[in-house]
Amino acid sequence: MHATAPTVVLLPTYNEAQNLERMLDAIHQQLPDGHVLVIDDSSPDGTGLLADRVAAQQPWVHVAHRPAKRGLGVAYRFGYAWALEHGYARVLQMDCDFSHDPKDLPKLEAVLDTYPAVVGSRRVAGGGTVGWPWYRNLVSSAGSFYARRVLGSPVRDLTSGFKGFRAEALRKLPLERLRTDGFGFQIEVTSFLVALGIPVHEMPIQFSDRAAGKSKMTTAIFIEGMWKVWDVRRQVRALERDHKVCTG
C-alpha cells in the first residue's frame, strides 16, 4: 500500500478529546496535502471514537487503536513503522495539546529539503517557551543540559517531541533497538540519529503550555527519563560500535 501524500503527521493521543478536532483542523490548514495518523491508547474520554468519526469523513485522517496505554515510545515506534510501510516520504511528529504550534509544521517540513532530520528546538537562538514559570524553565534546561553531558550530544534540545524525518533517515533507525517507552524516548531517538551519523538540524520554536486537558508530564516521569539517559547511553555506545563495524 502506497501513500497518496508525501507527508504524514504522527499524533499520539491519550485523553485528548478536548483538543483533537481543533488540532486536526489546524494541521490540515497548514499541510493541506498531508495526512495524519492518530495513534490512540484506548483513551477513556472517547478520543479514539472521535478520531474514527473524523476519519470516516476525511480521507487524510487515519487512526490506529492500541489496546492500552503503553507509553509514548511504543506509539511512535508503531507510527514510524506504519509510515514507512505506507510509503510516506516525510514523517513529522507532534503533541496533540497545542504545545507545538501547527503553524510551524510547514517550516519543519521545509527543513527536510536540506536535512534528513529536524528537531523543533527551545534551546537555540530564537527558540523558547511561552507561559512557563521560571522554575519549570530551570528544570527543563537543567534536564537537557544533564542529558547532553551524559550522552555527549551536539543537539541542545534532546527532549523535544516536535520532530521531522525523511523516510530514508527513519529506515536507518533500528526500531527494534529503541527500547524506551516514556519521556526518555525523545532523547533516545535523537541520540540514535546522531550515533548513526545522520545530521539533525535544530529549528527554533516557541513551546507553549497546554490550554486544555491534563498534562501527561509528572515529576516521576521526568525523573524516570533522566535515569533512563544512562540506559540510552549504553545503547548508543553499542550502536556506534556496530555502525563502525558495518561501515568499516
pLDDT tens profile 124-168: 999 999 888 877 788 778 888 888 999 999 999 999 999 999 999
Per-residue pLDDT tens digits for 35-66: 999 999 999 999 999 999 999 999 999 999 99
Joined together, the cell numbers standing for residue 67 give 489496546
Task: Please report, in angstroms and rounded to a whole number, the separation of the first and last CA atoms in the chain.
Answer: 35
Q: Specify the 3-state DSSP secondary structure of 145.
A: helix
Average pLDDT over residues 210-228: 60
Q: Considering only CA atoms, which of 33, 34, 43 is closest in space to residue 12?
A: 43
For residue 211, the model assigns a pLDDT of 63
Q: Which residue has the higher pLDDT, 85 or 214?
A: 85
For residue 121, the model assigns a pLDDT of 97
For the chain, percent of residues with pLDDT exceeding 70: 92
For residue 113, the model assigns a pLDDT of 98
Average pLDDT over residues 179-198: 91
What confidence tier does 13 reach under pLDDT thresholds 50, 70, 90? very high
Q: Which residue has the higher pLDDT, 188 or 142?
A: 188
212: pLDDT strictly greater than 90: no
Q: Specify the 3-state DSSP secondary structure of 100.
A: coil
- Report the b/e string of 81-90 with b at 16+ CB within 10 A: ebbbebebeb
Q: Which residue has the higher pLDDT, 104 or 143?
A: 104
Q: What are phi and psi of 199, to 5 degrees?
A: -60, 130
Quote the distance between the C-alpha of residue 35 and its chain's center. 16
214: pLDDT strictly greater than 70: no
217: pLDDT strictly greater than 60: no
Alpha carbon distance 58, 25 (integer Å): 11
Joined together, the cell numbers standing for residue 112 give 527536510
Domains and CATH numbers, the chain: 7-247 (3.90.550.10)
For residue 219, the model assigns a pLDDT of 59
Q: Supply the mean pLDDT for the chain.
A: 90
Contact (Cβ atoms closer than 8 angstroms) between residue 47 and residue 21: no
Alpha carbon distance 225, 234 (integer Å): 15
CA-to-CA separations, 59 to 29, 34, 62, in angstroms, rounded = 15, 11, 7
What confidence tier does 177 reach under pLDDT thresholds 50, 70, 90? very high
Q: Considering only CA atoms, which of 146, 149, 235 is closest in space to residue 185?
A: 235
What confidence tier does 228 reach under pLDDT thresholds 50, 70, 90? confident
Contact (Cβ atoms closer than 8 angstroms) between residue 165 and residue 103: no
Q: What are phi and psi of 10, to 5 degrees?
A: -85, 130
What confidence tier does 240 reach under pLDDT thresholds 50, 70, 90? confident
